[in-house]
Structure 1
Amino acid sequence: MSSSVERVKAALASHGHDGELRRFPDSTRTAADAAAAIGCTVAQIAKSIVLRTGDQPVLVVASGINRVDPAKVAALVGGRVKRADADWVRAVTGFAIGGVSPVGHLTQPLVLIDQDLGALDPIWAAAGAPNEVFRTGFADLVRISGGRVEDIRE
């Protein structure tokens, strides 16, 4: 198990989450790949998108079917945001793109959670590797990530 996956397990445990992870032989890097591997809808995949405002990471956890509106995110964080490149994501979060979890970051991001995830149960999120996920519910996702529930959809 990689150190990033171990970090996610430890973060889940520290929040009282059962931390049961599922590993797949193929990548679950995209929401569609994850949904096919898990056997759920694409909407139930909590995709993690890392943006940045200056040097501050902003993690947007969105339903797999939604596109994130950068203008809404900028208004919510009070400044300009841009997509973070893969090297910056790894350096700041400790995760490779495709495996970014809502918890266990090296640098705690500002977390915004798509309000549309509230209508879904269960929700599946990346667990630190492109082929590792964990199951959770909406209230637990908000609690363990410290996120704010917002309208972030285009």
Structure 2
Amino acid sequence: MSLESVRAWFAQYAPDITVEESDKSSATVPLAAAAYGVPPEQIAKTLSLRVGDRVVLVVTSGTARLDNKKARAAFGAKPKMLGVHEVADLTGHEVGGVCPFGLKDPLPIYCDVSLQAFDVVVPAAGSTHSAVRIAPRRMAELVGAEWVDVSEVRAEQAAPQP
């Protein structure tokens, strides 16, 4: 799985998108931002959550934090982060490379509205040294994601006031 499954997924569903590889690790938001030359908030991080008896993926802006109250309202139960081994078993991707593309098995995917502040975001691509550049709306369309508002955006990411 992982990088190979993501490459195959893009070859099938969006051949115009290139998976980029870096010799630098992109396993965390700050590392990914440095490796791909974008601000941390433009990294699209994928959270693997258990909500009641189901597992979901939530893609948010790199600097956004999951707001438990909003998430509980959106999903009907309090979300809990999956453990490292569960993430790899359920997604096919190791922590640091988790993305909504090329998953081992289909999972419900949600995109947080925090991503809509950007023309292009940079999610991982199945490994700790790979990513893609993609418009948030296109990403959501390609993976069949539902848009939700489940994060708390840090002040430095908030839109400037006129």
Counterpart residue number, 1:119:
117
Please say which of residues 7-16 and 123-132 is displaced more in the overlay. 7-16
Counterpart residue number, 1:146:
144
Residue 70 and residue 109 in structure 1: after superposition, are their counterparts in 2 closer, same or farther (change >3 A)? farther
Counterpart residue number, 1:19:
17
Please say which of residues 49-58 and 22-31 is displaced more in the overlay. 49-58
Q: How far apart, CA to CA, are the structure 1 residues paired with 2:104 and 2:53?
A: 14
Q: How far apart, CA to CA, are the structure 2 residues paired with 1:115 and 1:95?
A: 24
- Aligned-residue sequence identity (percent) comes to 34
Superposed CA deviations along residues 29-88 of structure 1, whole A, max 9, x for unmatched, are: 111111111111111100011001244221110001111113322322222321100011
- Aligned pair 1:37/2:56, yes or no? no
- Tell me which of 71, 78, 87 is aligned to 1:73: 71
Q: How far apart, CA to CA, are the structure 1 residues paired with 2:52 and 2:93?
A: 19
Please say which of residues 92-101 and 48-57 is displaced more in the overlay. 48-57
- 1:149 is paired with a residue whose SS is strand
- Number of aligned residue pairs: 152
CA RMSD for the aligned pairs? 1.4
- 2:59 is paired with a residue whose SS is strand
- 2:95 is paired with a residue whose SS is coil
What residue identity is the alignment partner of 2:141? Answer: R
Q: How far apart, CA to CA, are the structure 2 residues paired with 1:110 and 1:126?
A: 18
Please say which of residues 40-49 and 18-27 is displaced more in the overlay. 18-27
Residue 74 and residue 27 in structure 1: after superposition, are their counterparts in 2 closer, same or farther (change >3 A)? same
- 2:131 is paired with a residue whose SS is strand
In structure 1, list runs of 5 or more residues that go unmatched: none
TM-score (norm 2): 0.87
What residue identity is the alignment partner of 2:36? Answer: I
Q: How far apart, CA to CA, are the structure 1 residues paired with 2:73 and 2:93?
A: 26
- Tell me which of 58, 61, 64 is aligned to 2:62: 64
Counterpart residue number, 1:131:
129
- 1:51 is paired with a residue whose SS is strand
In structure 2, list runs of 5 or more residues that go unmatched: 153-162
Larger radius of gyration: 2
Contact 1:117 1:123 in 2 (8 A): yes
Superposed CA deviations along residues 88-121 of structure 1, whole A, max 9, x for unmatched, are: 1111111111000111111222211111211202
The runs of 4+ residues in structure 1 deviating greater than 4 Å are none
Q: How far apart, CA to CA, are the structure 1 residues paired with 2:16 and 2:72?
A: 34
